[in-house]
Amino acid sequence: MTNQGIDIQHPKLRGEWAELRFMTRAAEHGLCIAKPWGDMARYDFAVEHNGHFLRVQVKCTKYKRGRSYKCHVTHNGIPYAQDQVDFIAAYVIEADVWYIIPTAALEGRIHVMLSPHRENSTFAQYKEAWHQLRNQ
């Protein structure tokens, strides 16, 4: 069975669905999630572990480029700054894989290429790296 989220056509609905997936997966990893009220915060969630909070922005992609997936990591075309967001949680829908990427590792990029099938890709070290949200 394919991941049903790939069939959600409206980008905002697909993003909301990905946020629900993030909350579920984060809870499975023992993390406590807080959602800011409204939609004015630069981040989607505050993740708490042992009294320490991190700001996480959730992104998702279904867009293949060759064997990789292109994921935009901006807010209205502007890269996230380290003083706004601590991590990007990028979900590759078709592969059902999360990348937990520190904002500092993005170096001002507007998109990243995620390659779940390659162990030596640029962002491979962040694949399913949920421990980063516990070890800060």
pLDDT at 7 (0 to 100): 82
pLDDT in single tens digits along all 136 residues of the chain? 456 666 888 889 999 999 999 999 999 999 999 999 988 888 999 999 888 899 999 999 999 999 999 999 999 899 999 999 999 999 999 999 999 999 999 988 999 999 999 999 999 999 999 999 987 6
pLDDT at 1 (0 to 100): 45
pLDDT at 2 (0 to 100): 57
Alpha-carbon distance of 32 to 83, in angstroms, equals: 21
Q: What are the extents of the domains in the chain?
A: 4-133
CA angle 60, 39, 58 (to 5 degrees): 20
Instruction: Select 4-133's CATH number: 3.40.50.300, 3.40.1350.10, 2.40.100.10, 3.30.420.40.
Output: 3.40.1350.10
pLDDT at 50 (0 to 100): 87
pLDDT at 3 (0 to 100): 63
pTM equals 0.92
Alpha-carbon distance of 80 to 86, in angstroms, equals: 9
Give the distance, in angstroms, between the CA of residue 13 and the centroid of all CA atoms in the same chain: 16
pLDDT at 5 (0 to 100): 65
